[in-house]
């Protein structure tokens, strides 16, 4: 590897570089598809991370909920180490002793018949789209090549070419056309618009029960219930993208649980890998997912032994209810600490479990500027769009940690 100055850089040298040099190396040799805060992290434990200079930060992003269980949770690390010593990959050309227990227990957790494991959240979404179309043709009887899927304005489901085809974010779409047909968009939270968009060729409705990337947008009470009713009445599959909102983030196992709604397909990812490896999956009943046949869909790494071992441990941890309860308690502390900021630089607050968003007065500063100031106060968060920041601390954080977070935000706003 060559350094920006032309010299060779090995792994040990990189570890010894100061923050500026780390950032320079990334700027010089990595694609510029991210604009991160100027913080270079080296160590993580629980809800806290440490940078290369030894400064500690409270992590209030948690890898966009991939780190629901915190950094290097002892149970997950132990499970990963044990599996690394045994078997990491077979491909699905063969069975492994880890896949069966994982899918059996995840099926039990979701209440569904079957699981199809993949790797990334976007792959999970793609899998749900494919199974929905195939179900539409083979079970519902939609005419060939005519299937459509209803999606929501403001959605974020990933960055594949198909997924951005139904994004309403110009940054996600610019320069990537032509786009995949077969999608129609309706306003999020508007059940009447959804009902009007469905026709005889509609095979599915895809939605996030809470829109994460849009800024933790919580739909009106009763909306998910109404979506479920419409889908049932029209014989359309309801797909719940729980990649960010699921697996205890909102105080329930799934965000759909807040209205007692069960989608036909769950999409899971992020936290399913315990913050150690990419693991995703969809869950559905046999009458939907069994349209897949050998060779019609797959992934080399999907359901690999290491991923299955980690996912199985995550399911075991979720089955106790401990992390769901932690999320509920953290949410109470978050709300108590953040509500006093309303009218003092914050114009809106949304909280559901341990997931929150603050809309910042744009006359005061941008969300990115607030996140930069928060980092100076030892708290890491991420802006969403221009004037919103998202807060998603690991579910192992404490009430004191939430006090640290709220104080850092208050101090950052006062410094404006």
Any catalytic annotation for residue 270?
A: yes
Nearest in space to 139 (alpha carbons), one of 356, 4, 292, 282:
292
State how far the Cα of 326 lies from the Cα of 248, in Å rounded to an integer: 9
Phi and psi at 130, nearest 5°, equal -65, -45
- Per the annotation, the verdict on 382 as an active-site residue is no
The C-alpha torsion from 239 through 244 and 246 to 250, rounded to 10°, is -120
Catalytic hit among 105, 166, 264, 270: 270
Q: Which residue has the tokens 């919580």?
A: 218
Q: Cα separations (Å) of 339 from 358, 401, 409?
A: 10, 16, 12
Both structure tokens of 305: 């032994």
Q: Which residues pair with 117 in a beta bridge?
A: 281
Catalytic residue (choose from 105, 241, 264, 383): 241
From residue 377, alpha-carbon distances to 275, 380, 397, 407 in Å are: 25, 9, 17, 9
Give me 51's structure tokens.
């940078």
- How many other C-beta atoms are found inside a 10 Å radius of the C-beta of residue 33? 6
- H or E stretch including 133? helix 121-135
Active-site residue, from 69, 105, 112, 156: 156
- Sheet containing 41-45: order of strands: 41-45, 48-51, 56-59, 379-380
Rounded distance, CA 355 to CA 6, Å? 44
Q: Among all residues, which ones are annotated catalytic?
A: 156, 241, 270
């Amino acid at each position: 590897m060559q350094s920006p100055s032309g010299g060779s850089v090995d792994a040990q040298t990189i570890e010894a570089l100061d923050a500026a040099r780390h950032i320079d190396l990334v700027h010089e040799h990595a694609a510029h598809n991210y604009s991160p805060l100027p913080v270079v992290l080296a160590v993580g434990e629980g809800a806290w991370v440490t940078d290369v200079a030894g400064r500690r930060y409270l992590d209030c992003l948690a890898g966009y909920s991939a780190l629901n269980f915190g950094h290097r949770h002892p149970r997950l690390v132990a499970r990963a180490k044990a599996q690394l010593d045994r078997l990491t990959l077979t491909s699905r050309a063969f069975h492994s002793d880890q896949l069966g227990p994982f899918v059996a227990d995840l099926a039990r957790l979701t209440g569904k018949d079957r699981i199809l494991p993949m790797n990334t959240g976007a792959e999970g979404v793609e899998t749900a789209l494919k199974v929905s179309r195939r179900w539409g043709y083979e079970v519902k009887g939609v005419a060939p090549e005519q299937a459509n899927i209803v999606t929501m304005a403001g959605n974020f489901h990933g960055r594949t070419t198909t997924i951005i085809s139904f994004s309403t974010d110009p940054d996600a779409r610019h320069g990537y056309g032509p786009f995949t047909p077969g999608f129609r968009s309706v306003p999020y939270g508007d059940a009447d618009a959804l009902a009007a968009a469905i026709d005889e060729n509609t095979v599915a409705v895809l939605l996030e029960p809470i829109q994460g990337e849009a800024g933790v947008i919580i739909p009106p009470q009763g909306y998910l219930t109404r979506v479920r009713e419409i889908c049932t009445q029209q014989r359309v599959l309801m797909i719940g993208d729980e990649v960010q909102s699921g697996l205890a983030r909102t105080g329930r196992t799934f965000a759909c649980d807040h209205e007692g709604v069960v989608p036909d397909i769950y999409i899971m990812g992020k936290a399913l890998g315990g913050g150690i490896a990419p693991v995703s999956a969809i869950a559905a009943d046999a009458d939907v997912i069994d349209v897949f046949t050998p060779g019609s869909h797959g992934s080399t790494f999907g359901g690999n032994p290491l991923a299955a071992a980690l996912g199985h441990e995550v399911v075991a941890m979720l089955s106790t209810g401990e992390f769901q309860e932690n999320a509920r308690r953290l949410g109470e502390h978050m709300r108590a600490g953040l509500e006093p900021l309303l009218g003092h630089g914050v114009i809106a607050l949304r909280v559901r479990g341990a997931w929150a968003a603050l809309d910042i007065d744009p006359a005061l500063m941008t969300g990115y500027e607030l996140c930069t100031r928060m980092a100076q106060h030892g708290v890491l968060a991420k802006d969403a769009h221009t004037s919103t920041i998202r807060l998603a601390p690991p579910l192992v954080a404490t009430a004191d940690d939430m006090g640290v977070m709220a104080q850092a935000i208050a101090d950052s706003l006062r410094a404006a």
